[in-house]
Amino acid sequence: MRLRLRSGAVTDEVKRQLESTGPLAYSVSALQSKRVAFQEVRDWAVLQPKLAVYRDSFTAFAQDAKISPEERSALNTLAKNLNLTEADMKAIETSVKVPSALSSQ
C-alpha cells in the first residue's frame, strides 16, 4: 500500500479504496483491512517529513550536477538514520530535477 500512497495526499476516497482492497485482494476481513489502511496512512504521514529532508539534502548536493563519494556517503547515512529504503531514495533521486550532467554519471 505504501506505493499507492506515494502519489499524493491521502483523501477520504483514497482511504476507502485502501480499505476495500483488503478483502478483495488479500482475503482479510473488512475490520482487518480498515486497520491496515489506518496503519499505512499513519506511517505515510510520518514518512513525509523524512522524505522532505532527504529530498532537500539530495537537491543541495546535486546543484553542481555531481554527487561526490563523500556526498553519497552522507546521503546513505541520512537515509539510514531516517529509516528510508533504497526504493525511497531512488524515487526521490529520480524525481528531483537536477542538471543533466548528473544523470550521465
pLDDT at 99: 66
Question: Does 105 reside within a domain?
Answer: no
Question: Does 26 reside within a domain?
Answer: yes
Question: Does 19 reside within a domain?
Answer: yes
Q: Hey, what's the cell of 104?
A: 550521465
Question: Does 59 reside within a domain?
Answer: yes
Question: Does 61 reside within a domain?
Answer: yes
Q: How many domains does the chain have?
A: 1
What residues have CB less than 8 Å from 2, skipping those under 6 apart? Answer: 40, 43, 44
Domain encompassing residue 33? 10-98
pLDDT of residue 49 exceeding 90: yes
Question: Does 45 reside within a domain?
Answer: yes
Tens digits of per-residue pLDDT, 2-42?
Answer: 444 555 677 888 888 888 988 888 889 999 999 988 998 88
Question: Does 91 reside within a domain?
Answer: yes
Tens digits of per-residue pLDDT, 53-82?
Answer: 999 999 999 999 899 999 999 999 999 999
If 0-12 CB within 10 Å is exposed, 13-18 middle and 19+ buried, where does residue 18 land?
A: buried
- Max Cα-Cα span within the chain: 52
Question: Does 4 reside within a domain?
Answer: no
pLDDT at 102: 52
Q: In 27-96, which residue ranges form alpha helices assigned H by DSSP?
A: 30-61, 69-81, 86-95
